[in-house]
Structure 1
């Protein structure tokens, strides 16, 4: 709706679809990582694979279908467990922390500007963007709860500020604790890096098992919240006519059941067929970076075009902040091609198909009563009155 106001129907569709790609692919990546943790714990004798993925999607989609209140309460509890786990992990890793372990990756001497702190040179910083973003991917999903929130203009800005602050602190602590305890080189390929950081000899300890279970809770929390956000994004796009209308149907418990089941099925199939969490991650980041760029651009356009528009929440730093975000988002988008060309082109093809669908079909079938279109109609009427 925000991008629709600033950039028109095309801007709304391009932004919404980019976010949808992120929220369909991110759960597929996370469920693969959940499988790695389940396998390392030896739970039920399962190995990472499609039975684990199917169980995760079936159980957690079922909770979402039960109702939004139950789903968000569950998410809050699991997230609390995950935060406690990260604090316990950081305290446990502290005795083994060494600054020398942070830069123990072998240096690629052929890379420009390479040294022990930049083993892959200056280009390595750029290529690391998608992985650094993974710490924060999905935090923009907070506003997708707007229609199910009391006083969203007051509560959502507060929620996203707290979310960002907590994420920054936990990301820095987790990153340095894991790399400093075991060594960057040792954990760079690990599917469960927190556990690996606490098992220098490869033998499981009571503490590493506790962190493993709690780390699993953290992945479940991310998985669960991304499913919620993706279903609401699909619901909004469908309700406005950007995607087929039937996808916005809701159950008696007001859950968008097709908005949950369709992306859930796609996510499960992608995870089961590929089993490549890193690739899914990169495709999700591709969608995220496009949406970040378009949202930043929308902010700049609205500040310039409609300076008097009522704004319950104002971005700290204003246009300067969103301009920096726009540049960084574009740089991160290019970085996805540096890291995994195949993943970037897969995302690009999916995006192109969606654009073709909108241009040739749904663009002419937008729903006039959808909130996004009503806001646009009001804006056009106000502009007409101003001219008169």
Structure 2
């Protein structure tokens, strides 16, 4: 197998058609399948997680954080829509940064997304297990609270199976559970308003902190804690950026990914506003900020405690939707980095169903091990078993996400200058200003994570992961890269890299950067 030395001291190995035949994906999605995937990945954030921002900053602070994050996600989704249309291959964030900042930049961004999606999947498994165990305990007298790892194994196995069964099943399931989850939120909103349970005064029931200068009914903890609320406001949208990872499974990625992003973003803004205002206005800002299950508490306040177990089933629908969507994301993210040689190449193998089942299994194992380790640590914590585990892994997901966002916006800005003449079937209506706005807000959230002591264990864990992966790439991986579509696009200056039109080995035999065989 011939090797060709390329930029930044990396080497490419000619893989051949057989290599890519074992790593094929199947085109199964139209615009609504992509919409369902994006909404499914995010929707559980409306059921729980977002509300802790109110505890930091009050309802007013959380509302400001929500508006700031809407601006960031507009700039982000417009920008990644443009890049995904120009680079219609599975790499997504890794591909954008690879073209803009070279192999090391691509790995840094791709790894941030791996951390984000593997950790987010683990968070959803963690909370899904709590809900499921509550249901079986209440209705069947079957309690596994002392052995929650059994629930984790069951949930991972079920959703690995669904994701590995075929892309068509994944997209169809995503549409169904997204519609059901949206329906649940709309029903809650109607019930809150019709029943009279919603009270405007409850939005402001947190007493102003007398020790904080500038504290008010609107901002009971003052202005500064808005910074700490921003990461929690991300849960209204975190995961929508996974759409480019479905490029090689979309019938028309250059058209449908930007369109699906617009529709998904609009959907999530509406659902986010429903729970932000109505959920808080039903149980009060004070109670919402510390609730482990705010939507269920809202339903309980309207219909009473006797329906708690049934309502837990309702919450599980939203959690399962996001579990399906985020697992899809880490599978494709790891697949693309593996196919190019940044991760071990066996991770990108696909089976008869043409899904990256190996990456799905390995990502699940990593998430499961993280949950076990953190659960063991939490059992010696005064905060109680489970509390620390859930918090740490949630913080890991947020930090990985905001790092990936910042690097993608930097890539957008660079690519507008670096590749000014490449085909861009879709152009961001916000252009460079939108990317700058998203990058600045992402940097602010990054700082908020960095200075918040609650995030310190997550930051330490991520730094360790980066050191290990970068050492492995420096010593081994950088000498064995493959001319995958993502690498071809970068090396050809945007001339190659659309596998739908060119196949998967368009540059085989070419000298990178010359276009010559």
Same fold by TM-score greater than 0.5: yes
Task: Give 1:284 deviation, angstroms.
Answer: 0.4
Q: Distance in 2 between matches of 1:27 and 1:147?
A: 22
Q: Distance in 1 between matches of 2:188 and 2:390?
A: 23
Deviation string 1:92-139 (CA, Å, 9 cap, x unpaired) is 222211122112234333334322222222221000111100111110
Task: Select the residue among 268, 283, 302 that pairs with 1:167.
Answer: 268
Find the counterpart in structure 1 of residue 126 from structure 2: 32
Identify if the C-alpha distance between structure 1 residues 203 and 315 changes in structure 2 by more than 3 Å, giving closer, same or farther.
same
Deviation string 1:142-195 (CA, Å, 9 cap, x unpaired) is 111110110110111111111111011101111111111001211222221111
Task: Select the residue among 317, 321, 333 that pairs with 2:434.
Answer: 321
Identify if the C-alpha distance between structure 1 residues 380 and 300 changes in structure 2 by more than 3 Å, giving closer, same or farther.
closer
Q: Distance in 1 between matches of 2:392 and 2:207?
A: 24
Identify if the C-alpha distance between structure 1 residues 371 and 384 changes in structure 2 by more than 3 Å, giving closer, same or farther.
closer
Q: Distance in 2 between matches of 1:101 and 1:230?
A: 39
Task: Select the residue among 218, 226, 234 that pairs with 1:125.
Answer: 226
Find the counterpart in structure 1 of residue 109 from structure 2: 15
Contact 1:195 1:209 survives alignment (8 Å): no
Q: Distance in 2 between matches of 1:340 and 1:119?
A: 23
1:250 aligns with 2:363: no
Find the counterpart in structure 1 of residue 449 from structure 2: 336
Identify if the C-alpha distance between structure 1 residues 43 and 232 changes in structure 2 by more than 3 Å, giving closer, same or farther.
farther
CA RMSD of aligned residues (A): 2.2
Larger displacement relative to structure 2 (287-296 or 275-284): 275-284
Task: Give 1:371 deviation, angstroms.
Answer: 0.9
Q: Distance in 2 between matches of 1:316 and 1:349?
A: 39
Match of 2:214, SS? coil
Task: Give 1:8 deviation, angstroms.
Answer: 1.0
Find the counterpart in structure 2 of residue 358 from structure 1: 473
Match of 1:101, SS? helix
1:220 aligns with 2:320: yes
Q: Distance in 1 between matches of 2:404 and 2:171?
A: 25
Task: Select the residue among 228, 235, 250 that pairs with 2:335.
Answer: 235
Task: Give the TM-score normalised by structure 2.
Answer: 0.70
Task: Select the residue among 262, 270, 281 that pairs with 2:362.
Answer: 262
Larger displacement relative to structure 2 (231-240 or 83-92): 83-92
Q: Distance in 2 between matches of 1:43 and 1:296?
A: 48
Q: Distance in 1 between matches of 2:416 and 2:201?
A: 47
Deviation string 1:47-93 (CA, Å, 9 cap, x unpaired) is 55222222111111111122221222122211211111111111122
Contact 1:25 1:267 survives alignment (8 Å): yes
Q: Distance in 1 between matches of 2:105 and 2:361?
A: 27
Identify if the C-alpha distance between structure 1 residues 43 and 226 changes in structure 2 by more than 3 Å, giving closer, same or farther.
farther
Q: Which 4+ runs in 1 deviate beyond 4 A?
A: 208-211, 380-386
| Aligned residue runs from structure 1 range 1-388, under 5 A | 1-41=95-135, 42=138, 44=140, 45-47=142-144, 49-94=148-193, 95-200=196-301, 203-206=304-307, 211-273=311-373, 274=375, 275=386, 276-337=389-450, 338=452, 339-367=454-482, 369-379=483-493
Match of 1:5, SS? helix
Identify if the C-alpha distance between structure 1 residues 176 and 384 changes in structure 2 by more than 3 Å, giving closer, same or farther.
same
Q: Distance in 1 between matches of 2:213 and 2:99?
A: 44
Q: Distance in 1 between matches of 2:396 and 2:409?
A: 20
In the alignment, structure 1 segments of 5+ residues that lack a partner are none
Larger displacement relative to structure 2 (150-159 or 188-197): 188-197
Contact 1:196 1:202 survives alignment (8 Å): no
Q: Distance in 1 between matches of 2:244 and 2:495?
A: 27
Q: Distance in 2 between matches of 1:236 and 1:181?
A: 45
Match of 2:492, SS? helix
Q: Distance in 2 between matches of 1:315 and 1:211?
A: 41
Q: Distance in 2 between matches of 1:160 and 1:201?
A: 34
Q: Distance in 1 between matches of 2:468 and 2:315?
A: 37
Match of 1:255, SS? coil
Q: Distance in 2 between matches of 1:33 and 1:5?
A: 37
Task: Give 1:230 deviation, angstroms.
Answer: 0.5
Task: Give 1:336 deviation, angstroms.
Answer: 1.6
